[in-house]
Chain A
Amino acid sequence: MNAIFEPRSVAVYGASRDERKLGHTLLRNVLAGGFDGRVIAVNPAGGEILGVRATSTLEEGVDLALISVPAARAGAAVADAAQAGCRAAILLASGFGETGSQGKAVEAGLAEIARAANMRLVGPNCMGVVSRHGDGWLNGSYFWRLPDAPRGTAPGSTPPGEAADAKSISMLSQSGAFGGMFFAEARRRRLRVARFLSVGNSVDVTETDALDWLASDPATGVIALFAEAFRDGLHFVAAAERCRKPVVVLKAGKGRAGARAAASHTGSLAGSHGAVQAAFARAGVIEATTSDEFFDIVHSLGASGPVPSRDVAVLTISGGPGVLASDAAEQLGLRLPPPGEATVSRIRRLAPQFAAVGNPIDLTPQCPAAGFPAAIRAVFDDPVYQGVIVINCGLDVPEFGQGVVAARRRTGKLVTAFVLDAPRIEAELAEAGIPLLSSPERAVAAYAAAAGGLYRL
């Protein structure tokens, strides 16, 4: 598995000079991502492609063979890579098990070739691998656009200017296209991504194998998974139980259409999702029900990791939205204790007399700008709270954003935020890696997932 995520040498089968071919995209992505190990192209015509030497067969094994050839030629490519002694191969080609029983037999044969040569095989029918590599990426995928590589986030280093406890996210997907959604969200939300693997038809390497590897990967803090079906369900449960990192899962295919023909009430009530629910409960994974919720949860866990307490402060200058947030918090099992006396008296000295110093803590828009940092700090310092949900509609006072960022950095507490029409504050918070969610309720739900509201229930 190391050869899949951290190869030192890569071969690209099907590398082409023709820009319209996927094999061209793949080789270009490997080179453009910043991979600095040995790269070789495999193409019957030989010569040179994108400045890389091409050979008709692989003369010597590499760590990772990326195979982008039509299905009919995939067998020969897998056999060639196995013969040369490659440690792992990713078969990106489609046209196998997803097409029917004949394709299933063909891909099982490919797995056999790989197994006999002690070579791990990812795919087929997948989008490939993306993995942190120095200050850039190993981009062994068809993906057209990756997030910017975060500065200095090579495994083991602490990025300057970012919270030291921020956790990098690794994503496993049974769907290639969902990987596109992941990278788009990662760019939009500026998530710190460590690894991505599209497992496709999982003829050899399954999501469980990859989960096991990520569980002990020092660069990974949070594991995200998109699944449609589990090839080895109980192994997945065991791997997730062993994993000490939060695992967030979005499971597609919950409808009645896929449900069994039931002979009993139990069967019809279970539908296609009853067993999945049972398995996720045992596994201790966090299940998201929509893609929005999935990315929200990944975002908040990626900012701070799990938080061991349900006691949270809703800190706001906006009455109504603050109350919406506290309603949602109660519904999701969070608690909203009032601040301690010391906190109340510190805030009273800074905010107007009519400020509501309960929970929500409403500093009001009339709070003098200079008072915000100290008032916000008072809330963060209060030992009653393990974290803060920040709500600000339209008061774009830089001191507010600076106060939140400084207090969060000082205390390391979990923060999620809903900020509306306050671009300077939004920029300040985003830069500090604080998750900005698109409604008060979503800010609360993202917090609750990290704080145990949905976690291991």
Chain B
Amino acid sequence: MTLTEWESKALLRGVPRPREALTHSLDEAVAFASSLGVPVVAKASGVPHKTEQDAVRVDADVAAVWDELAALGDGTVLVAEQVRGELELIAGGLHDPQFGPIVSIGLGGVAAEVFQDVAFLLAPPVPGELDRAIARLRCARVFDGYRGRQPVDRQALQRILDAIAALLVSDPQVVEVDVNPILVRGGCPLVVDALVVKTP
């Protein structure tokens, strides 16, 4: 059973997220979008593989797309501030039959599956383990800032992994967690999308 993005994010307690809301009507969506005062992204809810289904609209005119997206999904639409980041990361977690819950951190983006640059940690991670996991990545240097960019806030990353770990440890029905992408903006990682898979 796959939870919606909104339900999944609700289970990841305390992770840094963009300003966003699940809207139940066009009016509510328009009001929320204008309160943000920045370009927004609108996403249909309860649709797996949203990008492939054309269920994500960037720079969205919420009034124009709300009905279409609501019909595509479960009748609600997620409206969020549109985030541009200097770096895309992927995190996740699962229950391994031999070693129990594990979490992961690595390079995200469209080429994530090509590079497969991801490190794994037993959950919950112990102090120091995240730094050592990042050091194992081929892309380790991007976490330290490069070309004048801010280093990635490791404490915020730690909070994301801790939240995934806490979910896996507390709920054995949670089979897999994807936090993808995490966009890093000015060094701050923001959870832009998340997916939790549970056993029925």
Contacts and interface: CB of A to CB of B under 8 A. Distances in A.
B102 A275 contact: yes
Given A281-B121, A281-B129, A269 B113 contact: yes
A309 to B, nearest CB: 18
Contacts of A457: 132, 135-136
B67 to A, nearest CB: 30
A274 interface: yes
B146 interface: no
A274 B100 contact: no
B102 A270 contact: yes
B92 A282 contact: no
A265 B136 contact: no
Contact of A282 (B2, B98, B129, B176): B129
B90 interface: yes
Nearest to A275: B96
A269 B106 contact: yes
B99 A265 contact: no
B119 to A, nearest CB: 7
Nearest to B180: A265
29 contacts: A229-B98, A233-B99, A237-B122, A263-B2, A264-B176, A264-B178, A264-B195, A264-B197, A265-B178, A266-B92, A266-B178, A266-B180, A267-B176, A268-B113, A269-B104, A269-B113, A270-B104, A274-B102, A275-B98, A277-B119, A278-B99, A278-B102, A278-B121, A278-B122, A281-B122, A281-B132, A281-B136, A282-B121, A457-B136
A264 B174 CA distance: 12
B122 A264 contact: no
Q: Tell me the dominant secondary structure on chain A's binding face.
A: helix
B90 A278 contact: no
A3 interface: no
Contacts of B2: 263
A282 B119 contact: no
A178 interface: no
A278 B120 contact: yes
Interface in A207-237: 229-230, 233-234, 237
Contacts of A229: 98
Given A270-B120, A281-B129, A265 B102 contact: no
Given A263-B2, A263-B175, A282-B129, A270 B94 contact: yes
A321 B113 CA distance: 37
B197 A265 contact: no
A281 B133 contact: yes
A164 interface: no
B62 to A, nearest CB: 28
A276 interface: yes
Nearest to A271: B116
B119 A266 contact: no
Interface string B104-144: 10100000110010111110001001001101100000000
B29 to A, nearest CB: 28
Contact of A230 (B99, B129, B175): B99
Contacts of A264: 92, 94, 176-178, 195, 197
A230 B97 CA distance: 10
Interface in A250-268: 262-268
Nearest to B98: A233
B99 A279 contact: yes
A279 B122 contact: yes
Contacts of A262: 176
The 5 A-B pairs at the shortest CB distance, nearest first, are namely A266-B92, A275-B96, A278-B120, A233-B98, A233-B99
A263 B93 CA distance: 12
A267, A269, A270: which has the most chain B beta carbons within 10 Å?
Answer: A269
A277 B120 CA distance: 6
A265 B178 CA distance: 7
Contacts of B116: 269
Interface in A65-114: none
B7 to A, nearest CB: 15
A262, A264, A266, A282: which has the most chain B beta carbons within 10 Å?
Answer: A266
A230 B177 contact: no
Contact of A265 (B113, B121, B129, B132): B113
A47 B197 CA distance: 66
Given A266-B176, A278-B121, A230 B98 contact: yes
B157 to A, nearest CB: 16
Contacts of B96: 233, 270, 274-275
